[in-house]
Amino acid sequence: MKLTFGDLSKILRRGFRLKCPRCNEGALFQTTFTMFKHCSTCNLKFERESGYFIGAMYLNYGATVLIAFPGYFLLQTFTAIPFLVNLGTWTLFSAIFPVIFYRYSKSLWLNFDYIFSS
């Protein structure tokens, strides 16, 4: 299946709103780190099988690296920030960002999978 701009737009909108990929109504998370098993509106099962969200971990890792790696080198090149401060800043970022992005990575993964498998 070819990914169109409309599909990508839909994935990103629903993913960042933390909504069900099928109906765009039901919430994905009941608490900060706990997902519902099914959509409360359309009954779509969120976790298909054990290990289903390993792709979300890759997505989370990739987003962290895509921000931290160039960020480090941009600051190192264009500012006078000392090496250890720059390194410490991006190390702290790399520890905190994945926790903040956790819900969004799972939601985006679920939305990508829904678009490609439906």
Burial label, 90 (beta-carbon count in 10 A; 0-12, 13-18, 19+): buried
Is the pLDDT at 62 greater than 80? The verdict is yes
Q: What is the CA radius of gyration of the chain?
A: 17
Q: Which of 117, 116, 114, 118 is nearest to 15 (CA)?
A: 114
Instruction: State residue 1's pLDDT score.
Output: 60
**Torsion (CA) 107, 109, 111, 112 in degrees, nearest 10:** 160
Domain ranges for the chain: 5-117
Which residues, 6+ apart, have CB-to-CB distance to 71 below 8 Å?
Answer: 90, 93
Position 88 confidence tier, pLDDT thresholds 50, 70, 90 = very high
Q: What is the mean pLDDT of residues 27-52?
A: 92
Instruction: State residue 48's pLDDT score.
Output: 83
Position 67 confidence tier, pLDDT thresholds 50, 70, 90 = very high
